[in-house]
C-alpha cells in the first residue's frame, strides 16, 4: 500500500526549512515534490528601498554561507552600469575571499553530509578544519559570516600581510588531503552510502538546468570561473573538476577536488597580490541609468544578478537567481526508485540553501 | 557542452523568432526587444541552438498594469536576454517547453501576479495554497525612495 512521507519543513536532516513530500511503496520512493517558501523575506523588494550603499548590507544577507558572493556580484553589476573598474589589488582580494568562502561552504556541506550518514567522528574532523577557514576570514575581514568586504568600485579592507595566512592554508591542505578526501572517497562506510545513490543523468541535468557541483558531477563541464572568467581567475589558471557518474559520490568527489583547487587559488592570489588602491571611487557612488547582468560562480553554482538603475538613489530592480533555486527541484528525479533511508543524504548532496532560494 | 554558436549565429536566429523587433550587443550580452514575443518559437530556437535557460526577471510597470518580462539564456560566454511584456496581465508560459523555467514563472505569479498561460504546474511556489497572487506587486510599483523604516508590506499597519 503506497503511503506519503513528509520530510520537513523542520527536520534534523535539513539545514533550513523546506519540505520534501515523498510517495513510497514499501521502502522505495516512487515520486517526490519539493516545497519551499518558508524563509521568504522579500529581499528583491527591500533592495528597491535602500540606497546603493545600504543595499550591499542587505544583499549580503541573502545567504549566511555565500554572503560574499551576493554582495560581490551586486557590486560588480553596479560597477558595470557605472563603467567603474575595480583596481587590480581589490580584484585579487575579492578572489581570495570568494575562494575562502567556497572552502568554508564545501566544508560545511561535507560536515553535514557526514552527519547525515551517521559518520559523527568525520563531522568533528571536518568542522575543526572549517574553523581554520573561518579564522582566516575573520583575520582578514573582522567577521565570520557577513564579511563586509565589498563596496562599489572595490573592497573595504586590505590584506596587509598575505604571508601570514600561509600556515593556516598548509594545515587546511594537509587536513583535506589526509582526512576529508580519503574519508569520503575510500572509506567503505562512506562509499556504501554514496556510490550509485541519487543519480542525476546528464540529460536530466541539462533538462533541469542545474548548475555548480551538481551539474559537474553529472558530466557537464560548466563553471563561470572557466567559461566566462571574472576577478583574477583568468590570470590564476583555474582548473574545473567534473565527474560523470551523477551520483552522491560524484558530487562529493567534485566538491572535495574543488576544495584543493580553492586552496591553490587562494595561495596564488595572495602570492600575486598587486600593489595599488583598494577602490576606484570614494564615497557614495552615483549609478547612472542603465542595466546589467552579471554571473559569478558561488560555492553551490552559478549566481545570476540583474540590476537596473534609473539614476535615482536606490536600485530600480534587483533580480537574484541563486544556484539553489535551480538545483533544489532536481531532488525530485534523484530520489525516484531510491530507499527512503537515502532521502536524507540525497537531498543533502545538492547542498540546498533555502535562505538563498526563498530570499 | 558542444560547440557554442557564434554571436552572429545567435543574432540571426534571434532576429528570425516571431515577435523579435531588434537585437543589440552590449559587451558580452545580447539584448532582444520583443514586445509581442512568440514564446513557443523562442523556446524552439533556444533548444535548437543548445542554449541553457538561466532565469526570468519580471518588473511591474504599475500597480495594476502590465509587466516587463526578461528571459535570460546563456551560450558561453554570451548572455542572451529577451525582453517582452505581458498583455492583459498574461504571457504564454515558457515552462511548457523548458522545465527549468517552471519555478521562475511560479515565483513571478506569486510575487507579481503575472498569469503564465499553459504552465504545466501553476501552483504557488512561495505562497501558501489559496493565497492571492501578486504579494509584492503594489509595493514594488511604488515610487522609489530610500526608506529608513521597515518597508515590508507585512510590517505596515
Please check the confidence at residue B2 and state whether its pLDDT lies above 60: no
CA–CA separation, A288 and A122 (whole Å): 51
Q: What local confidence, expressed as pLDDT, does residue B152 receive?
A: 57
Contact A280, A87 (CB under 8 A): yes
Q: What does the pLDDT read at residue A313?
A: 86
Q: What is the tens place of the pLDDT at every residue in A33-86?
A: 999 998 899 999 999 988 888 899 999 999 888 999 999 999 999 999 999 999
For residues B88-120, one letter each, b for 16 or more C-beta atoms within 10 angstroms of the residue's C-beta and e for the rest, the string is eeebbbbbbbbbbbbbbbbbbbbbbbbbbeebe
Query: What are the sequence ranges of the domains in chain A?
Result: 40-334+341-358
C-alpha to C-alpha distances, A196 to A76, A109, A211, A247, A248, nearest whole angstrom: 40, 19, 20, 5, 7
Please give the Cα distance from A258 to A99 (Å, whole number): 10
Residue B2 lies in a domain: no
CATH of the domain at B143: 3.30.460.80
CB contact under 8 A, B57 and A45: no
Q: Residue A17's pLDDT band (boundaries 50, 70, 90)? A: confident
Euclidean distance between CA atoms A149 and A140, whole angstroms: 9
Nearest to B114 by CA among B39, B154, B59, B151: B59
Percent of chain A residues past pLDDT 70, beyond the cut: 99
Contact B146 A326 (CB under 8 A): no
Question: pLDDT class for B150, splitting at 50, 70, 90?
Answer: low
**Closest by Cα among B2, B59, B52, B17 to A306:** B59
What integer pLDDT is reported at residue A13 of this predicted model?
A: 67
| Range scoring the smallest mean pLDDT among A10-14, A80-84, A273-277, A309-313 | A10-14
- How much is the ipTM here? 0.89
Mean pLDDT over the full length of chain A? 91
Residue B1, in any domain of the structure = no
Number of folded domains in chain B? Answer: 1
A279-303 pLDDT, tens per residue?
Answer: 998 877 889 999 999 999 999 999 9
pLDDT in tens, B59-94: 999 887 899 999 999 998 889 999 999 999 999 999
pLDDT at residue A179, as a whole number: 87
Query: What pLDDT does B1 receive?
Result: 43
Between chains, do A306 and B57 touch, taking CB under 8 Å as contact?
yes
pLDDT tens across B17-33, in order?
999 999 999 888 999 99
Measured in angstroms, the CA of A191 and the nearest CA of chain B are apart by 29
Q: If we measure between CA atoms, which residue out of B43, B73, B64, B53 comes closest to residue B138?
A: B64
Band of pLDDT at residue A181, cut at 50, 70 and 90:
confident
Q: How far apart are CA A334 and CA A119, in angstroms?
A: 22
Taking the C-alpha atoms of residue B17 and residue B41, their distance in angstroms, rounded to an integer, is 6
pLDDT higher than 80, residue A146: yes
Instruction: Determine the pLDDT at residue A117.
Output: 77
CB contacts, 8 Å: A48 with chain B: 140, 144
State how far residue B46 is from chain A, nearest Cα, in angstroms. 13
Give the per-residue pLDDT at A331: 93
pLDDT for A80-125, tens place per residue?
A: 999 999 999 999 999 999 999 999 999 998 888 888 777 888 889 8
Confidence of residue A6 (pLDDT cuts 50, 70, 90): confident
| A308 with B59: Cβ contact below 8 A | yes
CATH no. of A40-334+341-358: 1.10.645.10
Interface of B to A at Cβ within 8 Å reads: 1, 27-29, 52-55, 57, 59, 70, 72, 74, 76-77, 79, 81, 98-100, 102-104, 110-111, 124-128, 135-136, 139-140, 144-147, 151-153
> Which site among A9, A32, A43, A45 would you substitute to test the B interface, given the most B Cβ atoms closer than 10 Å to its Cβ?
A45
User: Are A191 and A217 within 8 A, CB to CB?
Assistant: no
Q: Range of B31's domain?
A: 7-155
Amino acid at each position: 500500500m503506497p503511503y506519503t512521507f513528509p520530510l520537513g519543513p523542520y527536520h534534523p536532516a535539513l539545514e533550513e526549512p523546506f519540505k520534501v513530500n515523498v510517495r513510497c511503496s514499501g521502502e522505495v520512493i516512487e515520486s517526490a515534490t519539493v516545497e519551499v517558501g518558508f524563509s521568504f523575506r522579500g529581499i528583491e523588494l527591500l533592495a528597491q528601498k535602500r540606497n546603493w550603499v545600504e543595499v550591499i548590507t542587505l544583499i549580503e544577507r541573502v545567504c549566511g554561507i555565500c554572503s560574499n558572493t551576493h554582495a560581490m556580484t551586486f557590486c560588480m553589476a553596479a560597477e558595470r552600469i557605472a563603467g567603474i573598474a575595480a583596481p587590480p589589488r581589490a580584484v585579487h582580494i575579492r578572489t581570495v575571499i570568494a575562494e575562502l568562502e567556497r572552502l568554508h561552504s564545501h566544508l560545511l556541506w561535507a560536515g553535514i553530509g557526514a552527519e547525515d550518514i551517521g559518520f559523527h567522528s568525520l563531522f568533528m574532523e571536518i568542522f575543526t578544519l572549517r574553523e581554520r577557514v573561518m579564522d582566516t576570514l575573520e583575520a582578514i575581514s573582522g567577521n565570520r559570516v557577513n564579511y563586509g568586504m565589498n563596496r562599489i568600485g572595490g573592497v573595504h579592507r586590505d590584506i596587509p600581510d598575505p604571508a601570514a595566512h600561509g600556515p593556516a592554508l598548509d594545515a587546511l591542505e594537509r587536513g583535506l588531503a589526509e582526512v576529508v578526501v580519503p574519508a569520503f572517497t575510500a572509506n567503505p562506510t562512506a562509499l556504501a552510502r554514496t556510490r550509485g545513490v541519487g543519480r542525476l543523468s546528464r540529460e536530466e541535468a541539462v533538462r533541469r538546468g542545474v548548475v555548480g557541483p551538481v551539474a559537474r558531477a553529472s558530466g557537464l563541464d560548466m563553471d563561470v570561473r572557466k567559461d566566462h572568467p571574472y576577478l583574477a581567475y583568468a590570470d590564476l589558471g583555474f582548473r574545473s573538476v567534473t565527474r560523470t557518474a551523477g551520483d552522491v559520490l560524484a558530487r562529493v568527489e567534485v566538491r572535495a577536488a574543488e576544495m584543493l583547487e580553492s586552496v591553490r587559488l587562494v595561495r596564488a592570489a595572495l602570492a600575486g597580490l598587486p600593489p595599488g588602491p583598494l577602490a576606484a571611487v570614494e564615497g557614495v557612488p552615483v549609478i547612472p541609468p542603465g542595466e546589467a547582468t552579471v554571473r559569478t560562480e558561488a560555492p553551490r553554482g552559478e549566481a545570476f544578478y540583474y540590476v537596473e538603475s534609473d539614476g535615482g538613489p536606490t536600485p530600480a530592480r534587483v533580480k537574484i537567481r541563486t544556484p539553489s533555486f535551480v538545483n533544489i527541484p532536481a531532488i525530485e528525479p534523484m530520489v525516484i526508485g531510491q530507499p527512503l533511508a537515502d532521502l536524507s543524504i540525497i537531498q543533502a548532496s545538492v547542498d540546498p540553501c533555502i535562505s538563498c532560494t526563498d530570499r | 557542452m558542444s560547440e557554442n554558436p557564434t554571436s552572429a549565429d545567435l543574432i540571426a536566429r534571434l532576429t528570425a523568432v516571431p515577435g523579435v523587433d531588434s537585437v543589440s550587443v552590449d559587451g558580452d550580452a545580447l539584448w532582444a526587444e520583443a514586445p509581442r514575443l512568440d514564446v513557443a518559437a523562442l523556446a524552439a530556437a533556444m533548444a535548437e541552438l543548445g542554449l541553457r535557460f538561466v532565469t526570468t526577471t519580471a518588473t511591474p510597470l504599475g500597480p495594476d498594469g502590465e509587466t516587463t518580462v526578461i528571459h535570460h539564456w546563456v551560450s558561453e560566454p554570451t548572455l542572451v536576454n529577451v525582453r517582452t511584456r505581458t498583455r492583459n496581465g498574461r504571457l504564454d508560459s515558457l515552462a511548457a517547453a523548458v522545465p527549468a523555467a517552471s519555478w521562475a514563472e511560479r515565483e513571478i505569479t506569486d510575487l507579481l501576479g503575472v498569469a503564465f498561460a499553459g504552465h504545466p504546474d501553476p501552483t504557488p511556489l512561495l505562497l501558501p495554497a489559496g493565497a492571492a497572487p501578486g504579494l509584492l506587486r503594489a509595493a514594488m510599483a511604488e515610487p522609489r525612495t530610500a526608506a529608513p523604516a521597515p518597508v515590508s508590506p507585512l510590517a505596515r499597519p
